[in-house]
Amino acid sequence: MLDSILNSATTSTTDLTLTNSLVTIGLAIILGAIISLTYMKTNKTTYTQGFTLTLVILPIVVAVIILMIGSNVARAFSLAGAFSIIRFRSAAGDPKDITYVLFTMAAGLACGVGSLGYAVLFTVILCALMFALSRFKFGIRKSQQKTLKVTIPENLGYEEAFEEVFAKFGVQHELKKIRTTELGSLYELVYSVTLDPNVNQKAFLDSIRTRNGNLDLSLTMAPPVTAEY
């Protein structure tokens, strides 16, 4: 019965009509808005207006492209040639954002080929899945990975300077970078550290300060994995 319902909501893309075009574009707008709202609800503190608007517009663009191509092979090759000269680049971001971009493109593609029922079904299932994964905090690490930058005097051996402090607070660490500053009179050490939620960060930093002579230090969130698409 479900197959019959979904198949009944399928339109033919071989004959481009005003009615089919309006229905396809209208559904693409609705699905894009649903996906965008899902993204905002599952990323309440990190989403941007520009990206949420993109999620609404992208399914419409893809659907219109598919409508224009139809079954015309010459149009398909012409479009491929036009897009081959365009290079898309973006700043590094959350890999989950790329997933949402592909999600919206798939929804627009399904609308464009006339599989309207399946487009709605897949959108509902994936949005529900996104909500469930966000609700149960799937994949979230309890420990926090951060970057620790410490300045030390040149007479302090950096190999074991803070080993006792790291052991005391149970902090996993890896020395990533060493460089000299102030004409070689100081060293700057960059560590990748993993902090347990119950670690008192102020006490941890105070212990570091007593070892480096109260010179500069900073503790920041580790940079995200970079991505290009």
Query: Exposed, middle or buried by CB within 10 Å (0-12, 13-18, 19+), for 108?
Result: buried
Going by C-alpha positions, the residue among 141, 159, 164 that lies closest to residue 221 is 141
Residue 74 has pLDDT above 70, yes or no: no
95-112 helix and 18-42 helix, angle to the nearest 10 degrees: 160
Q: Specify the pTM.
A: 0.62
Mean pLDDT of the chain: 80
Q: In terms of pLDDT, which residue wins out, 178 or 44?
A: 178
Q: What is the pLDDT of residue 225?
A: 42
Going by C-alpha positions, the residue among 212, 139, 219 that lies closest to residue 173 is 219
Segment 104-115 shows an average pLDDT of 88
The bridge status of strand 144-153 relative to strand 186-195 is: antiparallel
d(CA 112, CA 121): 15
33: its two tokens: 């808005």
pLDDT in tens, 54-70: 999 999 988 888 888 87
Residue 7 has pLDDT above 70, yes or no: no
Q: What is the pLDDT of residue 123?
A: 92
d(CA 185, CA 172): 28
